[in-house]
Amino acid sequence: MKIVTVPTTPFSGQKPGTSGLRKKVKIFAQPGYLENFVQSIFDSLSGYEGKTLVLGGDGRYFNEVAIQTILRMAAAAGFGRVMVGQNGILSTPAASAVIRKHGAFGGIILSASHNSGGPEGDFGIKYNMANGGPANETFTDAVYRRSQNIDFYRYVEAADIDLGSLGESQIGNLVVQVIDSVADYAELLESLFDFEKISNLLMRPEFRMRFDAMHAVTGPYARAILEDRLGAPAGTVVNGIPLPDFGGGHPDPNPVYAADLVAALADPRSGLSFGAASDGDGDRNMIVGRDFVVSPSDSLAVLAANYMHVPAYAGGLSGVARSMPTSCAVDRVAQSLGIPCFETPTGWKFFGNLLDAGSVTLCGEESAGTGSNHVREKDGLWAVLYWLNIVAARNEPVAGIVRDH
């Protein structure tokens, strides 16, 4: 195993935001730019030698190039194993699920979320801790400080790993395990929801849904779960093939960028009664009923109020949390249920301590993110299944459920 040490100088501005470091692809593609930041992450960690790292991204442009680089650097750093999603694909909530299930030391997620992709678009990278959640500010500040005085990075000389084939290979002493991107995540979701009840709903001739994956990461997940496991008709998932430029679209699930979906649900000729969409890395969601778009803040409140219809939460909620800009609708629900409601700064990482302490079960934010204690990231497909479980249990349309709420 030959470890190469490359002298380098710092790049300005490598300060992670609430969701890691996001820049234009052209910036990340500069020689040494990605390497400096990854080395800064490794240099800010301790005790990872021989441990497992999870790695994957949303499939946007530069994803596979970055993964091959990170694998070589992880080998040089001394990690024992890297679990990487097949074809480099791992949605953000799926990465969190894999970290937690396999007891990984942490994970690197490559995504710029709902930002545009392609050579002229954006790229992003963030580190997630052993709990599966985004790194806290103490760690990201340490990474930034290191990035501003870094003078070398290391990698192992090796050929590219075949990311398309499941199984194990090696880079030096590092075991690279290419895993099924969907399996662990789908298994987790099946343990939370009443799949039989949802399946019966999806196979009713009078109930038709459409899931718009926006040519982003959730396409394979939605097909595997909605169509293959739950029996939704083929074609329920549209724009389901992840593309490096998201098909030229903007993978942000809102009425502007998912206008076709909103229009289809407003057209009685479509026969659709339920619509949903998710974003670039799979952590945001939009729920649409017949001629009715559910606002993110209302969605969180409705999910909390209908907890009794979902098996994993039917025993009761320990509490709920929302970001500061999110409406107080969920506060009213918490008050009526006699449970605490917490307000946090913007950024999903701020829900982590509450979730780890068992203080909250559900949480959400105004920017179309909702989630629960099943992972430590917001989760778009989880929210869609939660809504389907409610619709199936109550046998009411989306608009009726929200208006009744």
For the segment 168-176, the average pLDDT, to the nearest whole number, is 96
Is 113 assigned a catalytic role?
yes
pLDDT at 392: 98
Three-state secondary-structure class, residue 151: coil
pLDDT digits (tens, 9 = 90+) for 205-233: 999 999 999 999 999 999 999 999 999 99
pLDDT at 181: 96
Options 19, 91, 96, 113, the catalytic residue: 113
Residue 243 banded pLDDT, cuts 50, 70, 90: very high
Residue 19 has pLDDT above 90, yes or no: no
Residue 347 banded pLDDT, cuts 50, 70, 90: confident
For the segment 159-163, the average pLDDT, to the nearest whole number, is 96
CA–CA dist 58, 42 (Å, integer) = 22
What secondary structure does DSSP assign to 39-63, as a single string? HHHHHT--S-TT-EEEEEE---TTH
Average pLDDT, the chain: 96
CA–CA dist 20, 37 (Å, integer) = 11
CA-based radius of gyration for the chain: 21
User: Residue 27 in contact with residue 51, Cβ under 8 Å?
Assistant: no
Residues of the chain by 3-state class (helix, strand, coil), percent to 5: 40, 20, 40
Other Cβ atoms within 10 Å of 50 Cβ, number: 12
For the segment 234-262, the average pLDDT, to the nearest whole number, is 94
pLDDT at 116: 84
Three-state secondary-structure class, residue 387: helix
Residue 276's beta-bridge partner residues? 211, 287
